[in-house]
Structure 1
Amino acid sequence: MIDKLSSVIGRREWPVVVALFLPAAALWGFIELADEVAEGGTKAVDRALLLALRSPGDPAQPLGPEWLEVMMRDFTALGGVGVLTLITAATIGYLLLLGKPRAGFAVLIAVGGGILLSTAVKMGIDRPRPELVPYATYVSTASFPSGHSMMATVVYLTLAAMLARVRPRWQTKTYILSWAVLISLLVGVSRVYLGVHWPTDVLAGWTVGSAWALTCWLVTLWLQRRNGVESELG
């Protein structure tokens, strides 16, 4: 089976074969986490971690200087609807200019599907937002999973994977993917720091977002091998 998958995806891309198992592992982790959250098994850890990021004796005040709170708001904006919509629209427009409409459509499906998945899970679990601390930014939806964390992971990892695929040097691939992971991590941490999500909300967003991004990436690779999707930049 491994030989067959290797021939389908590409002999020189054996790491993709390993990656085939990662979405399932991430999805399994998300399901286990969701079960623990539903049973209340994460309350103590969530509470302790959330309060650890607030000033002792004053939960209304985030830990650290004022400039750190401002920076965290900047980081959280990187996972906001407006920023991600602009990045996605710019990417799709660029692919259309290159004459690669099917690649642009693949990006649209990956991001749009991620939004639908996040909304469906939020509605299904409907976990309340933390009430231990005042919110340092506007919120309007349910808490689990963190939509900012999930969509940042979906968008940045998907776009980074597309860019990394056409870079020949592994150092360049690593650099691109590392920045995508770092941005996703900063968005998630900022959500907890600002008091709008429990830590397990963010962890769930990362896991299900990674599972979705990896799945979309693998499907795109498979379609490219059959000329169903153009090579993004080549």
Structure 2
Amino acid sequence: MIRVVVADDHAVVRRGLTGLIESTDDLEVVGVARDGREAVALVREMRPDVAVMDLQMPVMDGVEATRAIVGEASGTGVLVLTSFSDHARIDAAIGAGAVGYLLKDAEPESLLDGIRAVARGESPLDPRAARRLVSRTAHGRGGTVPSAADGAGLSPREAEVLRLVVEGLLNKQIAARLGITERTVKAHLTSAYQRIGVADRTQAALWAQRHDLGGAGGSEGARD
């Protein structure tokens, strides 16, 4: 079971998220927090796999709570779930150590897949958040993009997978789009990371955008 802590200052949202998560066979809610301070205390006590974190909360906001959780090296991955997709909040959340950033208008299944992705060590990003993050970095106002020369030796399929990462798709969704297995997607990503010199999904998305791999394209008939 993937153990989850939910942090949100709205009771209706907390109850809705708890009900959604508990409706699955592989996820369970082990704690619910009304503010960032409670979230930090719950994570410290329960050691969940994932903390689903709102950003705008009283007492301690989601950014500070994320920074505290990550700083304690508890092994808990923080998935931000918020209504805001502006540059400042995205930068602040990622800078504090959040590994995923989803918006509250996401489909329920996308949120559940996002929680699972964080538990697997992946970085789910809402497509709008990903575009804003990439756009901000591309204009030289922050973030880090690994410097790599064009022609990094990516195979057509690896490049295609990176394009879909830029679109914000999770591995499961990429596999369905390309008609390959999720395991194959992971293998392509691992190989692509090594070729372009990055360590995670966010850096890969930034690299892909900088090197003109962010648009739609690629051959649906490319070989695995």
Q: TM-score by structure 2 length?
A: 0.30
Q: Which has the higher strand share?
A: 2
Structure with the bigger percentage of helix: 1
* Greater Rg by CA: 1
